[in-house]
């Protein structure tokens, strides 16, 4: 599975007469169904995606995805953080204990998206915002991910937000090409539950387990001490390699 909303049970979410249409609508909003079926992104997404050229990723565009680094953040590591199944889990199925309910318009119809926050996400984002230049990077469309981020990130930990149009569509997956950010790769880390998202830069990744609804999960809480130590290192590759070999 690629990043985006994974738990979309089409049979449960729509009436029998609307199943084929809804499947296309869901694909236009989220990337899971698209990558699962290895089809190109829906044109209805209005997202000008980069696609592979001759089997290799598109050339790096002249303009970086991120604005110039603030002088107050000089020297800070840039941490790219995924949204779905990393910080939250969302579904079209009604959830009694949803933290947020986001109305999303798809082809003239408003759909309700039910969002659950991963345990300890508030504490995690607060601390990460203090230590790093934090960037939200999701393969979902901004019409869903932007309002979720508004509600999730009340403290403003995310200095920038990147959505599906900033991904590279490569071999059926939406890939987050860190070389396009405009940051020194020696100072970039990506936190994501989907290895396909960081296939171009696996050495920059801190993988996390996919989260759906386990309210006893402590993954984000457990990561805080590690990132507190990481914020002080000069060589992220050495630190991440050491973490991978010890875990």
Which residues are known to be catalytic? 82, 84
Q: In DSSP terms, which residues pair with 84 in a beta bridge?
A: 88
Instruction: Give the separation between CA 95 and CA 88, rounded to whole angstroms.
Output: 13
Q: Is 54 left (phi over 0), alpha (psi -120 to 50) or beta?
A: left
Residue 97 CA from chain centroid, whole number:
23
Residue 41 CA from chain centroid, whole number:
17
DSSP 8-state code for residue 181: S
What is the SS3 string spanning 96-144?
CCCCEEEEEEECCEEEEEEEEECCCHHHHHHHHHHHCEEEEECCCCHHH
Q: What is 61-76 written as a DSSP string?
A: PSS-SSPPPPGGGTTP
């Amino acid at each position: 599975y690629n990043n985006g909303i994974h738990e979309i049970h089409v049979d449960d979410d729509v009436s029998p007469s609307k199943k084929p249409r809804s499947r296309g609508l869901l694909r236009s909003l989220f990337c899971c169904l698209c990558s699962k079926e290895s089809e190109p992104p829906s044109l209805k997404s209005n997202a000008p995606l980069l696609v592979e050229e001759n089997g290799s990723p598109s050339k790096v565009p002249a303009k970086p995805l991120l604005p110039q680094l603030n002088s107050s953040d000089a020297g800070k590591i840039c941490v790219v953080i995924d949204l779905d199944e990393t910080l939250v889990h969302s579904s079209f199925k009604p959830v009694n204990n949803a933290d947020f309910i986001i109305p999303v318009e798809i082809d003239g119809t408003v759909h309700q998206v039910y969002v659950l926050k991963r345990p300890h996400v508030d504490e995690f984002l607060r601390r990460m915002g203090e230590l790093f230049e934090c960037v939200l990077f999701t393969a979902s469309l901004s019409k869903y991910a932007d309002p979720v981020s508004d509600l999730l990130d009340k403290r403003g930990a995310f200095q920038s937000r990147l959505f599906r149009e900033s991904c590279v569509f490569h071999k059926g997956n939406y890939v987050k090409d860190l070389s396009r950010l405009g940051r020194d790769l020696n100072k970039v880390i990506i936190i994501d539950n989907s290895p396909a998202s960081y296939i171009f830069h696996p050495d920059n990744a801190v993988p996390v387990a996919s989260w759906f609804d386990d309210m006893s999960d402590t993954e984000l809480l457990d990561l805080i001490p590690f990132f507190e130590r990481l914020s002080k290192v000069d060589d992220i590759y050495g630190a991440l390699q050491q973490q991978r070999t010890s875990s």
